[in-house]
Amino acid sequence: MPQQRDQRTLFPPSHIAARLPVTTQLHSVLLSQIIEVQSGHTFIRAAWNALSVWPRQVAKTYRFGPPDAFMDADGRYPYHWIYVAEHVITAAWEAQLCANDMTRPGTFYIREGATDALMATLVFDKPIRLLDLTGTVVSKLGIYDDLRSPDHEWCQWFGNQLDDVISSQGGLVHGFRYPSRRHPGFLAYALSSRFMDDLAGHLTHSITKFGATDALKSMERDPCCVEHP
């Protein structure tokens, strides 16, 4: 198990650092592009189990990290992202409840056990303020290709830069918005675990199984849907 590390002393490998925006410029650009999602907006979170609906700790950090280098001696990370979406289908693709079978081009399948996964509806009674990675700012920063890459290494170190920007705002920014890679044309969101306690006090939620949703029934009727491998 890795030794506990100070987050501030960790640096990305050179091949990643060469493609990351300069920190001071990133702060300036992103903080000029904050969006506000009004209170009462509905977010959808897909989770394989109840503990993952609003997770205090995670065993795996996925797309935006942090990288495993930040894991302490107890297997804990200093922060993580809570991924949500606006639509059940987007949440399902982002959480990989469904996937494409590369041996059968032009098809997708519902993962085994996914019908028992949970779809949580999250509603906050306060505005949620977010960095915006969906528009011109991505073009200006020159990060579009890396942001959409299936290789998570760059995104995880970039996510650490985002954490630095968000943390600098003292709880006034809660996460960021980004284009879904697995469900193109739709939005996805990442909320920072650093503000879970505050957000939890403004949160109401309900849970249903993915198998009970109209979205799953629609996906199962799709001619591209096949049995899981």
Q: Is residue 147 one of the residues assigned to a domain? A: yes
Residue closest to 30 by CA, chosen among 157, 173, 155: 173
Each residue's pLDDT, cut to its tens digit, for the chain (229 residues) gives 333 445 556 899 999 999 999 999 999 999 998 999 999 999 999 999 999 999 999 999 999 999 999 999 999 999 999 999 999 999 999 999 999 999 999 999 999 999 999 999 999 999 999 999 998 999 999 999 999 998 899 999 999 999 999 999 999 999 999 999 999 999 999 999 999 999 999 999 999 999 999 999 999 999 999 999 8
The pLDDT value given to residue 2: 37
Q: Number of structural domains, the chain?
A: 1
Q: What angle do CA 63, 143, 150 make, to 5 degrees?
A: 35
Q: What is the pLDDT of residue 153?
A: 96
Domain hosting 68: range is 42-226
Tell me if 83 is assigned to some domain.
yes
Using DSSP's 3-state secondary structure scheme, residue 44 falls into: strand
Token duo for residue 97: 């409840």
Q: Is the peptide bond before 67 cis (omega within 30 degrees of 0)?
A: no
Tokens standing for residue 173: 């920014």
Can you tell me the distance from the alpha carbon of 15 to that of 194, in angstroms, rounded to the nearest whole number? 28
Question: Per the domain annotation, does 100 fall within a domain?
Answer: yes
Beta bridge partners of 133: none
* DSSP states of 78-127: S--EEEEESSHHHHHHHTTSEEE-TTSTT-EEEPTTGGGSEEEEEEESS-
CA dist., res. 115 & res. 122, Å (int): 20
How far is the C-alpha of 201 from the C-alpha of 204, rounded, in Å?
9
Residue 20 lies in a domain: no
215 found inside a domain: yes
Inside any domain, residue 55: yes
37 falls within a domain: no
3-class SS of residue 46 = strand
Within a domain: residue 13?
no
